[in-house]
Amino acid sequence: MVSAISSSVQAVQYSSSTSSDSAAQEADLEKQIQALQDQAKAAQDQVDAARLQQQIAALEAKLAALKAADAKKADQDQSTNSAAASRQAEFDNEPTTRSHLFSM
């Protein structure tokens, strides 16, 4: 009888230590899971940040190209206007055939 009680006590102690070991293991695993989830989120944030930086760089390149094209067009327009003004000035200073006729 004593051995049966002793066995029963050992079983309860084993069960008790097993459940506390399980609880500790569960808590440890939950901590590990949380840590890995945090790492995964940080890694995803880094991936998202890198992707956004690439998009920003692409948009900045487009913007620079548009500004360069606008500046080139403005230079061409100014050059065209300048050339037209020069031609007009030459025309305005040139005597016409009719004025030659009158001066003769």
Q: What is this structure's pTM?
A: 0.48
Distance CA 75, CA 81 (A): 10
One-letter amino acid for residue 32 of the chain: Q
Contacts 24+ apart (CB under 8 A), 47-52: none
For the chain, the structural domain boundaries read 29-75
pLDDT tens digits, 61-86:
999 999 999 999 888 877 777 777 67
Task: Give residues with Cβ within 8 angstroms of 96, minimum separation 6.
Answer: none
Question: Alpha-carbon distance 3 to 13, whole Å?
Answer: 15
Q: pLDDT tens across 8-59, in order? A: 555 555 555 567 789 999 999 999 999 999 999 999 999 999 999 999 999 9
